[in-house]
Every structure is written in structure tokens, then in C-alpha cells.
Chains A and B, each alone.
Chain A
């Protein structure tokens, strides 16, 4: 059977796994972004204080977090998944946790870069007009950094969509299940089709995310800074 007719006959199953895949990545990205952006906001607040020691500590914490999350992204997915198994058991919890961890670095790095790249003169005039730290962060820094942050979320999503396929090896949900089934039925009818659909399905899930982010960007990036 060729892949197209396979897909036609099993559209329900494939959609089911695709939806699982999408949702598991969505959960992880939502969690990871919330953590990373929250943390970045905390450590990127335009200090403007003359408390150098505090600035230094905040800087060290920021760099430390980047180093640790970068290291986490280096750990092979299967290794991280099995390391999490004793804590979260087989299935979705481990998968979401691992994908969340993988999303941290990219979102964090873009958030820190975006927030710190806001033009110094803009911040100075905000301060000169009497905006407090928090207001500067919410009115000025965050909206101006948002396009860069959103791009980080986008890239993290692409990475997570690929990694999520491996989660099937710890009974995680998603399109990896199709690849795993196909692999275990090597030589049987449709085994190849299952692997093919499972693999390319990830690209379709990624495309859905891309469309989603394009819409979000359209709706949330202020007109004055849209390229």
C-alpha cells in the first residue's frame, strides 16, 4: 500500500496522534515560556539603581541560568527521559517535563536578549518622565522585546516538536507512537508507511504551530515596531 492510501484509511488514528503531539508540545511550551519569560523579566528589570552589588548578583544569576539551561539542551533526549522516569513514571508527565526543560534555554536566551536590547535612550526618557521600574518593564521593555521573545518561543517549539517523537520510547503520547509501532513491525505491511507518516507528521504539526505564531504575531506585535 502506498503512503497516501495508508493515510486515507487511517486518517482517524493519524489525526489522533497528531493532536496528542500538538497538545503535548503546547503544554510544554506554555510551561517553559511562562517560566523563562517570568525569570527573564525578574533578572532584566532595568535596575537603574546605584546598588552595584545587587546588579552584579542579578547578572550572575542570569548568566548561571543561561549556562544551566544550555547544558540541559545538550543532554540527549532519551537520556533525559530515562533520568526523569523515576520521578514522573512512564507517559505524558515525563514527556511534558522533558519538553519543558528543552524549551527553557531558547526562550530564556531570546527573552534576556530582547529585554536588554531595548534602546538605552528610550529607557532613559521613560525614567526621566517618571516611570517606575515596574511600569518601565510593562509599558516599555516587554512590548519592545516581545517580537524577539516570540521568535524564541517559535524556535523552541520547532525543537520540541522533533524531540517529542522520541517520547514514545517512554510511552509518551504523540506521533512517535506511529514510528515506534512501525519499527516494531519491521517488514510487515504498512510498517514503512507508519514510520513515514509519523516522521513527516511532525512537520505538519510544526506547520500548524507556525501558522498559529504568525497569527499571534500579527495580533500582538505593536504596529509601530512591526517590520
Chain B
């Protein structure tokens, strides 16, 4: 068996800050009355400050794996290390107060106000009132809900999207280093989900948590994850890699099939426009810059292609945050640019 600082997946180690935040070592779970394990001999290391997406078909053990990390489900065998500490034997309630937890059904306490919901863990940790109040307002701001407007509302007075924002704020309340999220945006309509994704990434840029995120939606996994762990039935890991790696180098047939057709198109999501060598916008030519369809520089090639097809045009202008055009992308030079980028990543 390996030492605590090694990990089976070759993620950088050594310096404590480089040490993985969560390590699963030979973790199995067999439910009572069943012979086939839901999760079998799983090794997994989650790097500090990154988002790891647990993906797979239903019944693949991804949720079981997630719930073993905060011991809502007790592993049958194996060790789970949190920041180097074996947590399989510690008090489960104390452990969970150090780990944020967000679920699909949100599970806000209906008899508590939004503020009281967020304050639950700080209250259990014995923070003083002033500090709790400050923290609640800070978190509401962070998730984009105006404290004065939302603090004293009850959950039933919120929309689904707002409820899940509060759910995320509640999980972040005591500033836990780790967050576990079980299909948090699964029950939310596609438009709102898209927006929540962007906000979620924005929040993560500020808080830099170590996040495990269960989803069955590969699209979501590619968009949000720094790493993706694809599970096959029986809780085995089929591939654990970056989104790019999963899309371009599926480790086996299962992953290839799971990724399905269109992997190349999906990979366009991963190529930021800012990494391309954009064309200049020719002045005086027709159509003029002002009339061009625009996409933001922060977007991906996917967004640019989508905009082109949508407007049935062969050129889009790429604009920065101030709306200033920084370049153009043309349909007929796109493949060339991708080739070029492939050669000089």
C-alpha cells in the first residue's frame, strides 16, 4: 500500500500545498444484503483547489463515492484522507462541519429564513452573532443575492435557482476547504443552469475550494471540471483525466462510447478565443466591423462557431470586456488555426 502523500494518479506531490486535498485509498462499499459492491477498490486523489467531476451512468457508484467522503455512507473497506488526515475514524458530525455539502434537492430548512439557513454551521461552531451576521451578508453578496432583500426571506419565497444559490452559500458558510456537490444544478432549467455554471466558476475563482461534483451530464463536467473521473458500473474508475484528455484520448471503449460522437465539437468548448491568433479586422471592407456578429474574448471557439452558424455568417468579431473589437475569426481559416494551435499548444 502506498504512503499518505503518494497518489495513484500521478498528480504532483511533495510540498504540503501540493499534497492532494482528498485521497481515497482502496475504498469499497458493499451495501447490506448485496453481494456486488457499489464501489470497488477505488483509488482517487483530488488536487487542492481544483474541481473534480465524478461522471458516469446511473448506478455507477459516483454518488456513493461522494457520500463516503463526508461519511454519509460509511465505506466497507479502505481509507479516506482529508488533507493528509485519515478521517474514517473521526466523529462524523464534526467532520461534516468541515466539508460543504450541496444536493440536487437543495434541502433548505423551510422554517428558517435564508439568513438562518446560511448560519446553521457557524451557529453549531459557536461563532458570535456579529460574526455570523457579517458572514451571512458576505456570502449572499458572493452568490449574487442582495442581503437586505433576501436575508429575511423564507425558502418558499425563492425561485429554484435562488434556492440553490442559498444552498451553495450555506455550504460555504464556515469556509470549509472542501465542497461536495451532488448534481446541484440537476433540477434547474437549462437557461438558469447555464448562468449558474458561469457564476459557480466565478465564485470558485475567488474561493479556490477543493470541489467534488457529481453529475451525469458530460457537458457540465467538461465545462466545470479541472479533472473528470468517469465511472463504470460497479464503481470502477474508467478514466481520470483532464476534460481535454477525456475528449481527445479516451482510455477505453467505455469512455469512448460515453463521450459519444461529437467529441471534436465538444472540445471546441475547451479552446479559449484568447489563445488563438486572431485575424485583423480589415477596415473598409464589407461587412464593416460595426455590422459584424460579436463574441466575447472570454468565450470559447465553440461560442464563436455557434454564433457563426446562428447568424449564417462566415466571420465574427471578437470583442474584449469593453466591447472593443480585438480581432476577427473566419470560417475558412478556423481549421488552419486549430491545426496551428495543435502544433504549438
Contact = CB atoms under 8 A, between A and B. Distances in A.
Nearest to A136: B93
Given A50-B74, A131-B124, A119 B107 contact: yes
Contact of A135 (B110, B124, B180): B124
A218 to B, nearest CB: 15
B170 A224 contact: no
B242 interface: no
A127 interface: yes
A142 B149 CA distance: 29
A130 B103 contact: no
B156 A224 contact: yes
Contacts of B28: none
A144 interface: yes
Contact of B110 (A50, A123, A139, A144): A144
Interface stretch (B12-20, B37-45, B94-102): B94-102
B74 A224 contact: no
Interface string B107-120: 11111110000001
Given A130-B121, A224-B154, A224-B155, A125 B110 contact: no
Interface of A is mostly: helix
A66 interface: no
B87 to A, nearest CB: 13
B150 to A, nearest CB: 14
A130 B107 contact: no
A130 B70 CA distance: 9
Contact of B93 (A124, A130, A143): A130
**Interface size classification for chain B:** 20 to 34
**Interface size classification for chain A:** 20 to 34
A119 B107 CA distance: 8
Interface in A114-173: 119, 121-132, 135, 139-140, 143-144
B246 to A, nearest CB: 28
A129 B32 contact: no
Contact of B32 (A50, A126, A143): A50
Given A129-B170, A224-B156, A124 B103 contact: yes
Contacts of A222: 111-112
Given A130-B96, A143-B111, A222-B111, A125 B156 contact: no
A127 B96 contact: yes
A130 B170 CA distance: 12
A223 interface: yes
A224 B124 contact: no
A52 interface: yes
B156 to A, nearest CB: 7
Given A121-B105, A135-B124, A225 B72 contact: no
B111 A225 contact: yes
Given A131-B93, A224-B155, A224-B156, A126 B109 contact: yes
12 contacts: A52-B32, A119-B107, A121-B107, A125-B108, A128-B70, A128-B72, A128-B107, A128-B180, A139-B109, A224-B110, A224-B113, A225-B111
Interface of B: 32, 70, 72, 74, 93-98, 101, 103-113, 120-121, 124, 154-156, 167, 170-171, 180
Given A128-B72, A130-B95, 7 more contacts: A121-B104, A122-B107, A122-B109, A130-B124, A222-B111, A223-B154, A224-B112
